[in-house]
Amino acid sequence: MSKNLPVLETERLILREIEDIDCFDMYEYACLPNVGPSAGWEPHPNLTHTRNIIKLFKGKIDYGQLGVFAIVLKETKKMIGTIELHTYVKNFKAELGYTISPHFWGHGFAVEASKALIAWGFDFLHLKRIECIIFSENMQSKRVCEKIGLTYEGQKKKGYMLYDGSVGDVRCYSIIDDEFYERIREHTW
């Protein structure tokens, strides 16, 4: 596998490997109290924290993981979020994770980016399964999972420990390669 992520393009977005230059755009939303906790991470207290997170993201590839894509608006070149296939197991499965700046919620960017990354996961990585685990109370992510056609598989009670030590229930969604390619054939993807 290459040490660099590809650049993926959609109608409105560019998905490219996260870079140090994304620090200011990322901090702009990562410091907000309503962003990180809904995904299980603490709000960033300062730019140094954000720089360290980006360094961590860029280092994932050294540990057999894929790395993290920055979600960039084509029109303005602004980085508005991140997306990744993490907990990657070669030729088997990965977990979809994404964060979008609240300034850009409600415009379908998470759906658009997720569909592109899922297609890459099945077509290029030859995955058999992609899953998305969300907190039960995260209704925005629930809607994204439904819009991209993931199947709800159930709830794991006390399935995740948050950054502050509290434990929460999570909902499990997935799509398998057979479902994805069937939707491609039926032009429903």
Where in the chain are the domains?
Answer: 8-185
pLDDT above 90 coverage of the chain, percent: 87
Question: According to the CATH classification, is domain 8-185 in 3.30.70.100?
Answer: no
Dihedral, CA of residue 177, residue 41, residue 156 and residue 173, to nearest 10:
-20
For the entire predicted model, the pTM comes to: 0.94
**C-alpha torsion 41→43→49→53, nearest 10:** 30
At 65-100, the pLDDT tens digits run 999 999 999 999 999 999 999 999 999 999 999 999
pLDDT at res. 162: 85
